[in-house]
Amino acid sequence: MSTIACIGSGNMGLALMKGASRTAGSTNIFFTDADAEKARAAAGSLGAGVNNSNLEAINNGDFVFLAVKPQVLPQVLAEIAPIAGKRFSGGGSHGDLPILVSMAAGWSIGKIQAAVGAKLPVVRIMPNTPALIGKGMIALAASPEVPAERTAELENILGGAGIVDRLDERYMDAATGLSGSGPAFVYLFIEALADGGVRAGLPRDKALRYAVQTVLGSAAMVEETGKHPGELKDMVTSPNGTTIAGLTALEGGAFRGTVIKAVEAAWRRSMELG
């Protein structure tokens, strides 16, 4: 079984490693972090191990997850570059090399390879926070240096955190704007739905419960029926009824246009971070 080293133990790194533990086993996972206590806490929560440094992670890991913020990634890559270059120049096949798995928004595969100074196999992913409960959406793009069997193994590892979808790297920033940032937009909508229920007289706990189940059920309807959301919307909308009155209010507030602009803003920011 491959060894998984996770550099960074924040929310997303922990979420992915929690999912990985379901498929790869927690004893094959090792954390490292600038805050050593944070790494120990993350490892302890999963029954995983701890690497004493990022150099130990790159030296021993088969899959090395770069679970740090884009602004911190240059420092981490500069630190691990000597060991990564040494392993690369050791003459082994790409199948023997560590696979760098980056989730840093905006950072292309080519830019990561240039920063390390070697054509190491790199996989770029964009997960989202529902991965913490095994319900994530994970876009994945692999460099040509990653053997097909290693990509398949990584997909299996990540499968414990949610749905893994291979994507051409040129679309990764768009995926960041939609599924990477999207949960925050959905949470805001759920909160607004619940507030609307409270405004109409529902107790707060009831309003939130109804809002959550409405969003869950509606998403499941799109997925399970295969119908276009617009068709499902029309099924709920009776002439001169309550739903069309609410839809009219949403359109009056430029609801769809505002959501599109939110995804676009996140997409543009992802490109800026690179």
Half-sphere exposure of 272 (CA within 13 A, CB side): 7
- Residue 177 is assigned to a structural domain of this protein: no
| Angle, in degrees to the nearest 10, between helices 242-252 and 255-273 | 50
Tell me what pLDDT residue 65 has: 96
Query: Mean per-residue pLDDT for 140-160?
Result: 95
Tell me: do 141 and 110 sit in the same domain.
Answer: yes
217 or 87, higher pLDDT: 217
Tell me: do 16 and 126 sit in the same domain.
Answer: yes
* 161 pLDDT higher than 70: yes
Query: Mean per-residue pLDDT for 195-223?
Result: 98
Tell me what pLDDT residue 118 has: 83
Tell me: do 119 and 32 sit in the same domain.
Answer: yes
Mean pLDDT taken over the chain? 93
Query: Mean per-residue pLDDT for 131-146?
Result: 94
Inter-residue contact 109 to 143 (CB < 8 Å): yes
Confidence of residue 95 (pLDDT cuts 50, 70, 90): low
Tell me: do 72 and 23 sit in the same domain.
Answer: yes
pTM (predicted TM-score): 0.90
CA distance 69 to 109: 16
Query: Mean per-residue pLDDT for 238-247?
Result: 96
Query: Mean per-residue pLDDT for 137-158?
Result: 95
- Residue 39 is assigned to a structural domain of this protein: yes
φ/ψ region of 102 (left if φ > 0, alpha if ψ in -120 to 50, else beta) reads beta
CATH number, domain containing residue 66: 3.40.50.720
Q: Which of 172, 204, 230 is the last residue of a domain?
A: 172
CATH number, domain containing residue 203: 1.10.3730.10
* 247 pLDDT higher than 90: yes
Tell me what pLDDT residue 87 has: 74
- In which domain, by residue range, is 213 found? 182-273
- Residue 123 is assigned to a structural domain of this protein: yes
Buried b / exposed e along 42-64 (16+ C-beta atoms within 10 A): bbeebebbbbeebeebbbebbbb
Q: Which residues contact 178 (CB under 8 A, 6 or more apart)?
A: 263, 266, 267
Query: Mean per-residue pLDDT for 221-239?
Result: 97
If you search the block for the tokens 């130990």, which residue do you land on?
A: 56
- Residue 269 is assigned to a structural domain of this protein: yes
Q: Which of 106, 139, 172 is the last residue of a domain?
A: 172
Query: Mean per-residue pLDDT for 30-34?
Result: 94
Half-sphere exposure of 160 (CA within 13 A, CB side): 16
Cα–Cα nearest to 255, from 176, 208, 188? 188
